[in-house]
């Protein structure tokens, strides 16, 4: 006796598999897009904070050049090369913009202009590392 049938069962299984794959890829794409958006928002905020601190530092240096006292806590040091001013401005999160300039006869030389990490460092001892004993 000959079985009469079609391949509709196999086609249906392949179609269900394709729809499931597309659904999974859609969910993964959506989750990746959300993570990328959060990351870009964090990066944009960090850039805004840095440039805000940079603007403040530039204004402070221009005040120093104009002969005014800086409006931030600073370290003033007289050296052979002129007067050196050092100060730090918060640059968002756990970073600060550290600036050191030397002023000599109205000329400004930037000695340091960099961001530094000012947060408290805490070591992570949670990683279990094999000590060379007890293989099994």
- In the predicted model, what is the mean pLDDT of the chain? 88
Domain ranges of the chain: 8-117
pLDDT at 100 over 80: yes
This prediction's pTM: 0.69
The Cα 78–Cα 80 span in angstroms is 7
**Distances, alpha carbon 51 to alpha carbons 44, 45, 54, in Å:** 11, 10, 5
- Quick one: tokens of 80? 């052979």
If one counts every other C-beta atom within 10 angstroms of the C-beta of residue 68, the result is 10
pLDDT at 12 over 60: yes
pLDDT at 132 over 80: no
pLDDT at 3 over 70: no
- Quick one: tokens of 60? 């402070």
Burial of 78 (0-12, 13-18, 19+ CB in 10 A): exposed
Band of residue 32 on the pLDDT scale cut at 50, 70, 90: very high
């Amino acid at each position: 006796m000959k079985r009469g049938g079609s391949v509709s069962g196999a086609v249906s299984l392949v179609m269900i598999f394709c729809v499931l794959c597309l659904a999974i890829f859609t969910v993964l794409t959506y989750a990746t897009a959300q993570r990328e958006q959060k990351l870009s928002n964090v990066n944009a905020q960090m850039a805004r904070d840095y440039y805000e601190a940079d603007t403040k530092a530039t204004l402070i240096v221009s005040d120093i050049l104009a002969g005014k006292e800086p409006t931030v806590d600073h370290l003033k040091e007289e050296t052979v090369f002129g007067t050196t001013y050092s100060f730090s401005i918060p640059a968002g999160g756990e970073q600060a913009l550290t600036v050191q300039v030397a002023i000599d006869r109205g000329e400004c030389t930037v000695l340091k202009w960099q961001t530094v990490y000012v947060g408290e460092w805490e070591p992570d001892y949670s990683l279990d590392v094999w000590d060379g004993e007890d293989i099994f």
